[in-house]
Structure 1
Amino acid sequence: MSLDNERNDGLYGGSGETRTRLPEGEGGGQDGYGGGRRSSRSSSRSLVTVVGVVVLLIAAIAFANRGDSGDESSAGDGGGRKAGAGPTAASGTKPVDGKTSGIPSGFAKSQQGAQSAAANYAVALGSADMFKAALRHSIVNTVYTPAAAAARQASLDKVYAGKQFLTGIGLNPDGSAPKGTTFVSRIIPVGTKAKQLSGNSATVEIWYSSLFGLAGENTKNPVSESWFTNTYELRWIGGDWKVADFKQKDGPVPVGRDQRASTADDMAKAVEEYGGFTYAR
């Protein structure tokens, strides 16, 4: 298992800007930018452009509403229907209300339940609690199958307790954050996709962004954002979905906007005041 499953390095994209010229009035005077009145040919071109934009907008809305309407059938049932990008919307199924070691549990044996389980487990596995031995053991034993938990526990302990690793990401050798800093490790699910559902097994992809680093003055590892897609192999064991294995790949990564980065104090305050959330679909 690679360490990238639990921590992420920051990636930044470029920024872009689109300028839109407002239509000029019908008067014969010059506009606010000093331009003369448009010719009839120019006006016709503008009309065609506006109509084109409206058509594209209508097509985009239709495409967005074309997703899965909550069908619980298998994503790999061979029925000829591709697994669509269903919108995250109310499905009529009540969210799970049970928890095991603080992690949502008791997911339905369905496509929706498998997706919700994968998203919630990703949040737990990417949290700062993974850097604390007792909490890490509890998380691993809760989200993994018994066989996978037994196989991974020792290697995870070796990685997360390694002084070289901890100091390399800016933490103290005991795993605590240096004085005056706040350690941030948080996953934000963007969407999920059921690749396969058959009997007691399911394959689910989850696309997410991740915040990782130290919020504080003069830190060498400031909080940065990364984007990944995890593929989880789930097994139905003991009346719930559990993780048997998973893979990770980079992206898709969106283009970064030209927003100014927040101060270290603002970032630390946000992390302390805005708690994480459970993911329901």
Structure 2
Amino acid sequence: MSLGDEPGYGDAPRGEDGGYGGTGQTRTRLPDRAGDVYGGARRGRSSSRSLVTVVGVVVLLIAAIAFANRGDDESAPGTGDSDKTKTAPTAASGEQPVQSTAGGIPAGFAHTGQGAQSAAANYAVALGSAEMFNKSKRDAILTAVIIPSRVAEFESSLDKAYTPGFNKNVGLNEDGSTPQGYTFVSRTTPIGTKLTSSSADHATVEVWCSGLLGLAGDNSTNPVTNGWFTITMKLEWTSGDWKIVTHSQKDGPTPVPGDDRASSADDMAKAVEEYGGFTYAR
């Protein structure tokens, strides 16, 4: 999915003394333009780059072990796990999110801030699934995750969004069905959650996500691509569970693309069919 590298780009010939152009000096290559931290086109992979990567991983592992040991040594007697999580807010709580489902969607979340975050993460997965492109399945999802008083409003709004033209733009048939010989991919993966406000029966949660969308198959004009976005949900505790009151989305945070080679259409279709999803917990 990233552009191919060009080995040797920008490399000048070395002299016998190890310098560039026989001058005996080492030339530092500066970026080609302001703001370009990579100095224009990327260099190709090399053994030195692999060595740096390995050394970097080892250093990180050593640092992580040292930090963990330091934390255990400095903790006061009687300090519980709840105190440790305060220094690592992105760590998983270790608590099971739910024991039941509603229409295949996790349900029955705890009446806590962690429960609200778990609900938001799982609802993000449901709302970003391929089933949302089917009218009857979409309505079932909305009934399961939206507060009852606003289900009809969400249905009406999304019916206007999932139009025949929109379906065609993502590679589907106008009725939302998948063209023969192709596999439609729409999958959202939560990376992390953040509780931005809460009260007894209300919570606002941000869910940072990565998503896949496109049509896998030979000659697809809409190949599967990935994106990064953050969903904000306002939740309300009603009838023994968290439900969505409002839902919005914005782009990012987006990491720098790596050097991974894009998989074939067949590999992508096979992966989507064989790898199942998860129930997410905070």
Tell me the TM-score normalized by structure 2.
Answer: 0.71
Within-5 A mapping of 1:138-177: 138-160=140-162, 162-177=163-178
Residues 97, 118 of structure 2: 8 Å contact kept: no
The residue aligned with 2:240 is 239
For the aligned residues, what is the CA RMSD?
3.1
Within-5 A mapping of 1:138-217: 138-160=140-162, 162-217=163-218
CA–CA distance in structure 2, aligned partners of residues 69 and 159 of structure 1: 45
Q: Following TM superposition, by how much is the alpha carbon of 1:280 offset from its aligned partner in structure 2, in angstroms?
A: 2.1
CA–CA distance in structure 2, aligned partners of residues 15 and 234 of structure 1: 44
Residues 200-238 of structure 1 show CA distances to partners (whole Å, capped at 9, x for unaligned) of 000111101000000011111100000001111000000
The residue aligned with 2:63 is 58
Partner SS, residue 150 of structure 2: helix
CA–CA distance in structure 1, aligned partners of residues 180 and 216 of structure 2: 11
The structure, 1 or 2, with the larger RCO (C-alpha pairs under 8 Å, 6+ apart) is: 1
Task: List gaps (5 residues or longer) in structure 2.
Answer: 6-16, 19-54, 72-79
Residues 97, 280 of structure 2: 8 Å contact kept: no
The residue aligned with 1:28 is none
- Equivalent of residue 101 in structure 1, options 100, 103, 118: 103
User: Number of matched residues?
Assistant: 223
Within-5 A mapping of 1:102-117: 102-117=104-119
Q: Following TM superposition, by how much is the alpha carbon of 1:166 offset from its aligned partner in structure 2, in angstroms?
A: 1.1
Q: Following TM superposition, by how much is the alpha carbon of 1:176 offset from its aligned partner in structure 2, in angstroms?
A: 1.0
CA–CA distance in structure 1, aligned partners of residues 167 and 137 of structure 2: 17
Residues 27-60 of structure 1 show CA distances to partners (whole Å, capped at 9, x for unaligned) of xxxxxxx98xxxxxxxxxxxxxx9xx96997389
User: Letter of the aligned partner of 1:120 in structure 2?
Assistant: N
Say whether 1:230 aligns with 2:231.
yes
CA–CA distance in structure 1, aligned partners of residues 66 and 249 of structure 2: 31
Counterparts in 2 of 1:155 and 1:94: CA distance versus 1, 3 Å: closer
Residues 90, 192 of structure 2: 8 Å contact kept: no
CA–CA distance in structure 1, aligned partners of residues 167 and 210 of structure 2: 22
The residue aligned with 1:275 is 276
- Equivalent of residue 85 in structure 1, options 71, 74, 89: 89
Say whether 1:124 aligns with 2:126.
yes
Q: Following TM superposition, by how much is the alpha carbon of 1:152 offset from its aligned partner in structure 2, in angstroms?
A: 1.4
User: Letter of the aligned partner of 1:271 in structure 2?
Assistant: V
Counterparts in 2 of 1:201 and 1:61: CA distance versus 1, 3 Å: farther
Tell me the TM-score normalized by structure 1.
Answer: 0.71
Q: Following TM superposition, by how much is the alpha carbon of 1:185 offset from its aligned partner in structure 2, in angstroms?
A: 0.3
Residues 197, 203 of structure 1: 8 Å contact kept: yes
Residues 143, 243 of structure 1: 8 Å contact kept: yes
Say whether 1:261 aligns with 2:262.
yes
CA–CA distance in structure 1, aligned partners of residues 200 and 121 of structure 2: 20
Q: Following TM superposition, by how much is the alpha carbon of 1:84 offset from its aligned partner in structure 2, in angstroms?
A: 6.3
CA–CA distance in structure 1, aligned partners of residues 152 and 88 of structure 2: 35
CA–CA distance in structure 1, aligned partners of residues 59 and 272 of structure 2: 41
User: Letter of the aligned partner of 1:115 in structure 2?
Assistant: Q
User: Letter of the aligned partner of 1:182 in structure 2?
Assistant: T
Q: Aligned residues: percent identity?
A: 53
CA–CA distance in structure 2, aligned partners of residues 233 and 61 of structure 1: 39
CA–CA distance in structure 2, aligned partners of residues 86 and 190 of structure 1: 10
Q: Following TM superposition, by how much is the alpha carbon of 1:255 offset from its aligned partner in structure 2, in angstroms?
A: 1.1
Task: List gaps (5 residues or longer) in structure 1.
Answer: 1-11, 17-33, 36-49, 72-80
